[in-house]
Amino acid sequence: MDNNNNNKNNKNKKVNGLLILVIWAVGLTVVFNYLSAYSRQASATASTHEIQYSEFKQLVKDGRVDSVVFTDGKIEISPVEGYVYTDEDGNTYDKDYTLFTMQMGSYDQGLLETLDEYGVENYTNPYVAEMSPILEFMIAYILPMVLLIGVFMLFMNVMAKKGGGIGGIGSVGKSNAKVYMEKTTGVTFNDVAGQDEAKESLVEIIDFLHNPGKYTAIGAKLPKGALLVGSPGTGKTLLAKAVAGEAGVPFFSISGSGFVEMFVGVGASRVRDLFQEAAKVAPCIIFIDEIDAIGKTRDSRFGGGNDEREQTLNQLLAEMDGFDPSKGIIVLAATNRPEVLDKALLRPGRFDRRITVDRPNLAGRLATLQVHTRKIRMAEDVDLNKIAQATAGCVGADLANTVNEAALRAVRHGRHAVNQEDLLASFEVVIAGAEKKGTVITEQEKKIIAYHEVGHALAAAKQKNAQPVTKITIVPHTEGALGYTLHLPEEEKFLMSKDDILTEIRTLLAGRCAEELVFNTQTSGAANDIERATELARNLVARFGMSEKFGMMALGSVQSQYLDGGYSMNCAQDTFALADREVVELLQRCHDEAKALLEENREMLDKIAGYLFEKETITGAQMMAILDGRDPDKEDYYGVPARQDGTIEPPAKHISIVSEPIPMPTAGGALPEDAGEKPDKTPEDDSLQQKQE
């Protein structure tokens, strides 16, 4: 009986639904036909004008009529070319209007004779075939109704397949998370290197899912969530995929922006649906990438106040509090902006662990390079230890890109294996861009760039706490530099002393000092150096508490630690102004010290600049050989031996010279005759230096 009742109810629902569709189709068809007729009538009214029958006859007698058409009880009149009809109110009707009057029927039998008499030869009564009333009714009403019903039924079927039925618009609230079953991500912890601490925390969570008994026996509870925090490119998303590959449980992956839609309330609905689906297949893992898109704090300081985002965040907080941890649902999230997340989201009980995914150290970079080169055919001269040392400060994404660029470079040069030179050259492509082969600069500009870069390098070589110089080049690159000096540390450093910061500032300003000392001029090539030196000086005064005037008073707070690392000043305006003056004095003092250092070593400055001018690209080892009085052509570069011609790689002879050759300064320090002249152009030299804090 119950089955029969259910069948009857289903049939009644289908019949009622079909009746509703028919009613809608009939109503829309009638409305469409009415609108169509009204539109035709309005169009005809706008392009015609009715006149009296007597006026029509007078126009015929006056020779103003060119042709006449008899249609549907009307006479349509076409005036002769150039005639403009004017009515009693003074309104004019030109050739774009059609004049018409109503027929008089049998009351005027002599109309045709009148038309012939006054020369109107073009008159006609066109034949129009009559359509069957039934066919006309079917075209006007039945066919549109059938088409509308078909469109409605197709729309309902599509929405029903998406889970919405007749109310299918509600399916927009369904979660669109990607579900990975067991190891379908193709990534495991063997594919992740350089993040041992983060892997250890995640391995414990996975072991908890597989063997909950040994943890619950001692009274431990399963963590509800873990937040992955780190700079872009450090491998947060890769770690989450590795968790999916290792866990052997369903893995739901969604981006924070995937909860946000144009409809209010959709985000909260998707959060509910996501946790409902996860509860069905528990134990499982939910991964929310870029959670700051929905987890932003609800105050107004960081752009809060959005109702839709707040509803989504409130629902996420409720769901993370509501599910039973014994079911084995773990929430992973990743962000590089933890400072903007809501405090309620970060508390224990929601995200019990905060896992920092930091930049890898020397051992981590070596392990990362080994992972990314497993499928790369390597030459015998490759020394990954040297590459790891050269890539200080790089994240995992940088190293992966370096290895891939090296493989592409090897193919371009027709080799079947990647050698050491490919890896080093690709690293410089990643940080500085490719060489610009079509740049045209003058000889004078080339000389200024050489002295500018050697000024950086020599200041670093003559200071105790400076990072050693690795490479100096005056070849323009696509990242905007006409040349750069590459500094790489010999050992890992995690702290910077006051002497280290002052040394770095002097090194940055030494390029401008070399321009002033040798050419008695200043160029815009020092713009990037001055920006970085000012940032270091401001940090020394405002953040690090190393200023004698302000002592250990913090004048600012860090913002976006894992992005640009900037900060905002939190002090009075007068204090801010005093801090700016302290920064100016500090920069001027470092500038004077760097200039004095170059004056003391002017002879070496000229020698190294002359060698760089000739080779266009030299290494730090070659510069140190000149300082020590050795042959610079016999030095290697991070494991790349020098060639017979004394170069590390073919000289980049891509700089086009457009002026007469100018002799270089002699070893004794004599300036060229025009050294003090201002160059024709000002080089844009964004000096690239890597610093390790």
Residues known to be catalytic: 453
* 8 Å CB contact between 627 and 461: yes
Could you tell me which residues come within 8 angstroms of residue 271 by beta carbon, excluding any fewer than 6 positions away?
175, 259, 312, 315, 316, 319
Q: What is the 3-state secondary structure (H, E, C) of 542-605?
A: HCCCCECCCECCCCEEECCCCCCCCEEECCCHHHHHHHHHHHHHHHHHHHHHHHHHHHHCHHHH
* 8 Å CB contact between 192 and 395: no
Please state, in angstroms and rounded to a whole number, the distance separating the CA atoms of residues 263 and 229: 30
Please state, in angstroms and rounded to a whole number, the distance separating the CA atoms of residues 400 and 402: 5
Q: Can you read off the two tokens belonging to residue 327?
A: 């079911």
Q: Whose CA is closest to 611, among 590, 621, 626, 589?
A: 626
Please state, in angstroms and rounded to a whole number, the distance separating the CA atoms of residues 178 and 164: 20
Partners of 568 in the beta sheet? Answer: 557
Please state, in angstroms and rounded to a whole number, the distance separating the CA atoms of residues 501 and 511: 17
Per-position DSSP letters for 621-646, written without gaps between them? HHHHHHHHTS-GGG--BTTB---TTS
Chain centroid to CA 572: 37
For the CA atoms of the chain, what is the radius of gyration?
41
Please state, in angstroms and rounded to a whole number, the distance separating the CA atoms of residues 117 and 319: 95
Helix and strand totals (H; E) in the chain:
21, 20
- Encode burial over 640-653: b for 16+ CB neighbours within 10 A, e otherwise: bebeeeebbeeebe
* 8 Å CB contact between 345 and 317: yes
Q: Whose CA is closest to 375, among 414, 415, 417?
A: 417
Q: Whose CA is closest to 575, among 587, 567, 585, 583?
A: 583
* 8 Å CB contact between 462 and 598: no
Quick one: DSSP state of residue 65?
E
Q: What type of residue is 246? A: E
Q: Tokens 């003391």 — which residue?
A: 600
User: How many residues are there in the chain?
Assistant: 693
Please state, in angstroms and rounded to a whole number, the distance separating the CA atoms of residues 307 and 265: 9
Q: Tokens 């968790």 — which residue?
A: 243
∠625-628-629 over CA atoms, to 5°?
A: 85
Q: Whose CA is closest to 424, among 391, 376, 468, 375?
A: 391
Could you tell me which residues come within 8 angstroms of residue 324 by beta carbon, excluding any fewer than 6 positions away?
none
Please state, in angstroms and rounded to a whole number, the distance separating the CA atoms of residues 666 and 605: 11
**Which whole-number Å values give the CA distances from 306 to 7, 296, 313, 475, in the listed order?**
47, 10, 11, 50
Q: Can you read off the two tokens belonging to residue 629?
A: 């009085």
Please state, in angstroms and rounded to a whole number, the distance separating the CA atoms of residues 607 and 225: 61
Q: Can you read off the two tokens belonging to residue 485?
A: 């000096």
